[in-house]
A and B are shown apart, each in its own frame.
Chain A
Amino acid sequence: MGKIQLKSVTKAFGGVKVIPNLDLDIEDGEFVVFVGPSGCGKSTLLRLIAGLEDMTSGTILIDGKDATNLPPAQRRLAMVFQSYALYPHMSVRKNIAFPLMMAKMDKAEMNRRVENAAKILNLADYIDRRPGQLSGGQRQRVAIGRAIVREPAAFLFDEPLSNLDAALRVGMRLEISELHQRLKTTMIYVTHDQVEAMTMADKIVVLRAGNIEQVGSPLELYSRPRNTFVAGFIGSPKMNLMSGAHARQHDAATVGVRPEHMDLSTSDGLWRGEVKVAEHLGSDTFLHVDSKDHEEPLTVRANGEFQVKAGDVVYMTPQADKMHRFDDKGLAIG
């Protein structure tokens, strides 16, 4: 079981309120991702849940029981750190077994669990090495191994992939998702990378300056962002946000159109523009277009076969039903 509830949680460092007031329910077995720009308080929130930081005020319940004043070890949560935080003077086997040794588990059961974790994570070949002799990806696996042997109520991940190179990151992302399918244990995952959030989460929590901007499934956030911040943060490339005359036409302070929701033509359309940069990804091409009708360059997605290069003139027409409208406070209308 791993249901986690935060009630009116606040956290201040010195006089600085990092988390002003936050309520959140995390259901058992969910894969929840905290996402937001750097410095918005994601790690702090995770560390409050872990018990590594004390809350300034508020309550945290784990499986319905008050855990506010429990020390980290008694919360039955396992954490995977961005730096891996392996014990450098111990072998991989001892690293993984460490939490079980602390729990004074009997030898036979301990060995069974360590072997099992090593098998799941493909660590069997390195089990007697020291962390210093492993690659980044292998270290990450050891850190995950150390977490899973405990069979915790929930896993906490703090940007676990940000020290890996891009190719490895995609691989590990899949592995962690598979691990979740297999264990069906609650996972809370912190990242500043919205692609990771979109691809892995059951539920995304978008944070800004310690406040929750929106909670929802990846597709909910994509299709119904609650405000301009979420609209701009979720989705890649970013949504085109326009204010002024274009917005007033639609009775809004700001309107947004995603790059994939604009029809492109070389002959006619609503807005005329000149292609500044064309990024060819093969399947798609992203165009950055300068248009006299707009202050900011627009981003448009074209089919990979669409023949275009820098300097070409194109016409763009937003799909009316995919348009997002926001009021003068940045909140979504309708």
Chain B
Amino acid sequence: MARQVSRQRKIGMTILAWFVGFLIFFPILWTFLTSFKTELTAISIPPQFLFFDWTTENYVNIQAQANYFHFMMNSIYLALGSTVLGLIFAIPAAWAMAFSPTKRTKDVLLWMLSTKMLPAVGVYIPIYLLFINLGLLDSRLGLIIVLFLINLPIMVWMLYTYFKEIPVDILEAARMDGATLRQEITQILAPMAVPGIASTVLLNVILAWNEAFWTLNLTTSNAAPLTAFIASFSSPQGNFYATLSAASMLAIAPILIVGWFSQKQLVRGLTFGAVK
């Protein structure tokens, strides 16, 4: 039912929304600005907002100090590897739960999601030891497996809510029309589920890209992704905020661009099933 919203109220809400949006965006903006300052301007008080001498020296320094490309390739490997592996397991799982649920399907889903609430440190020692024994420490494969496992519950959950929205009638119609199970999946279900699968992939890539606990603790150099790249600029010489900001910008730039262009799908993906 349409509700009448007064003009003042509309304006008020708009200002509030912009304010909150700005608040959330501010850290990224500040990092961006700082990355173009000299170390001295970066810590000057009062802080300088726009009118300082813009410099790209931080970016130049970083290129000289570390192999950005190596870290970025690792991030890409980890994000894509864990996502592809995740899809292979999550799609059939979500399919089964959405289209032939049992009494306990809802419980299983909740239980899976609840594992996300566990603090990661709780299993850090066992996993670390396991990685040593299996020779997976500082390997891409090992990290791909860990990232895949920690994001699997979210993937299953998201795909499940998408598949739930596909009317069973349509699948049954295909069954009546003589489609085999394979044809039912490839010709009817998959095309209808493409938007859902796409936004699940997107979210998972972002989560894997940003994951900083396991990627920092299970790598040293060989498999280290961009999170480790940033971290490497924070220690031991003390904090150089401008350099650190430049490193952060380089690390988040790829995902920021991807996220910017796909924000519609992302929002839809995260609220899907909630609004109907």
Chain A residues engaging chain B, CB cutoff 8 angstroms? 50, 52, 71-73, 77-79, 81-83, 85-89, 98-99, 102-103, 146, 150
11 contacts between A and B (CB under 8 A): A50-B176, A71-B175, A73-B175, A85-B170, A85-B172, A87-B174, A88-B192, A89-B191, A98-B177, A102-B179, A150-B177
A22 to chain B, nearest CB (A): 22
The secondary-structure label for the interface of chain B is helix
Q: Closest Cβ of chain A: how far from B52's Cβ, in Å? A: 54
A-B contact count (CB 8 A): 53
Nearest-CB distance from B104 to chain A (Å)? 13
- Is A73 within 8 A of B188, CB to CB? no
Give the residues in chain B near A77, CB-CB below 8 Å: 176
- Whether B55 is near chain A, meaning CB under 8 Å from some CB there, is no
Q: Does chain A have a CB within 8 A of B173?
A: yes
Does B169 sit at the interface, judged by CB under 8 A? yes
B167 → A minimal CB distance (Å): 6
By beta carbon, the residue of chain A nearest B173 is A85
Q: Which residues of B165-204 have CB atoms within 8 Å of chain A's CB atoms?
A: 167, 169-170, 172-179, 183, 188, 191-192
Q: Point out the residues of chain A lying under 8 angstroms from B167, CB to CB.
A: 83, 85
- Determine the residue in chain A with the shortest Cβ distance to B166: A88
User: Are A87 and B170 interface neighbours, CB within 8 A?
Assistant: yes
A99/B178 in contact, CB under 8 A: yes
Q: How far is the CB of A90 from chain B (nearest CB, A)?
A: 9
Given known pairs A88-B192, A89-B191, A89-B192, the reply for A73 and B179 (CB within 8 Å) is yes
> Taking the nearest CB of chain B, how far is it from the CB of A82, in angstroms?
8
B163 → chain A closest CB, angstroms: 15
* Residues in chain A near residue B169, CB distance under 8 A: 81-83, 85
Contacts of A102 in B (CB 8 A): 177-179, 183
A158 nearest CB neighbor, chain B only: B169
Q: What are the residues of chain B within 8 A of A73 when measuring CB–CB?
A: 175-179
> CB-nearest residue of chain B relative to A103?
B178
**In the complex the two chains form, is A78's CB within 8 Å of B188's CB?**
no
Given that A83-B167, A83-B169, A85-B170 are known contacts, is A99 also in contact with B177, CB under 8 Å in the complex?
yes
Interface-central residue, A79, A103, A146, by most chain B CB under 10 Å: A79
| Contact residues in A for B174 (Cβ distance below 8 Å) | 87, 98
A87: B residues at CB distance < 8 A: 170, 173-174, 188
- Tell me the minimal C-beta distance from B172 to chain A in angstroms: 5
CB distance from B164 to the nearest CB of A (A): 15
A30 shortest CB reach to chain B, Å: 20
Partner of B173, one of A71, A79, A89, A103: A79
* Bound: A153/B191 CA distance, A: 31
Q: How far is the CB of B157 from chain A (nearest CB, A)?
A: 24
- Given A89-B191, A99-B176, A102-B178, 15 further pairs, Cβ under 8 A: A50-B176, A52-B175, A72-B172, A73-B175, A73-B177, A79-B176, A81-B169, A81-B173, A85-B173, A86-B170, A87-B188, A89-B192, A98-B174, A98-B179, A102-B183
Which of B176, B183, B191 contacts A72, CB < 8 Å? B176
CA distance A83 to B173 in the complex (A): 11
Q: Which residue of B lies closest to A152 (CB)?
A: B176
Q: Across the interface, which residues of A come within 8 angstroms of B183, CB to CB?
A: 102
Task: Report the Cα distance A73→B184, complex, angstroms.
Answer: 12
Taken together as a complex, chains A and B put the C-alpha atoms of A95 and B86 apart, in Å, by: 33
Shortest distance between the CB of A84 and any CB in chain B (Å): 8
* Contact A52–B178 (Cβ < 8 Å): no
Considering residues B170, B177, B178, B191, which has the most beta carbons from chain A within 10 angstroms of its beta carbon?
Answer: B177
What CA separation (Å) do A86 and B176 show in the bound complex? 12
A126 to B175, CA, bound (A): 25
Instruction: List 6 A-B pairs, minimum CB-CB distance, nearest first.
Output: A102-B178, A99-B177, A85-B169, A85-B173, A73-B178, A89-B191
